[in-house]
């Protein structure tokens, strides 16, 4: 029997993997993918709480919003990456430090 805890564990794992990806990847696209993982970890939680909790459909609606928001975010993020690439000829986030002191 699959319970809420299982879902939460999967969500937590996804979130953690995403966070680690964001924190460690040097490739900007990889970082964006890590963000997707984090968002999807949250989505798993929304759906799971919607199935087992009192919120019923609210969790699924929120998951749809998050997917939408993730798409928009990825579009903006990829545009920024493109802009960085055009400027610095690299998409290594460690090289993009023009705002340093």
Query: Residues interacting with other proteins, by CB under 8 A?
Result: 19, 22-24, 31, 93-94, 96-101
Alpha helices, DSSP H, located in the chain: 4-24, 28-52, 58-88
Instruction: Please name the residue that has the structure tokens 């990889």.
Output: 30
CB nearer to other proteins: pick between 89 and 94: 94
Question: In Å, how far from its chain's centre is CA 82?
Answer: 19
CB nearer to other proteins: pick between 2 and 98: 98
We find the least distance from the C-beta atom of residue 29 to other proteins, in angstroms, to be: 14
CB nearer to other proteins: pick between 2 and 99: 99
Instruction: Give every CB contact of residue 13 below 8 A, 6+ residues apart in sequence.
Output: 41
We find the least distance from the C-beta atom of residue 27 to other proteins, in angstroms, to be: 12
CB nearer to other proteins: pick between 10 and 19: 19
Instruction: Give the residue from 36, 30, 28 showing the smallest Cα distance to 72.
Output: 36
We find the least distance from the C-beta atom of residue 33 to other proteins, in angstroms, to be: 15
């Amino acid at each position: 029997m699959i319970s809420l805890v299982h879902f939460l564990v999967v969500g937590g794992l996804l979130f953690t993997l995403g966070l680690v990806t964001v924190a460690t990847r040097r490739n900007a696209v990889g970082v964006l993918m890590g963000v997707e993982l984090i968002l999807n970890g949250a989505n798993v939680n929304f759906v799971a709480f919607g199935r087992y909790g009192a919120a019923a459909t609210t969790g699924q609606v929120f998951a749809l919003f998050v997917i939408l928001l993730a798409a928009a975010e990825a579009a903006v993020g990829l545009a920024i990456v493109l802009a960085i690439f055009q400027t610095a000829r690299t998409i290594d986030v460690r090289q993009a430090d023009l705002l340093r002191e």
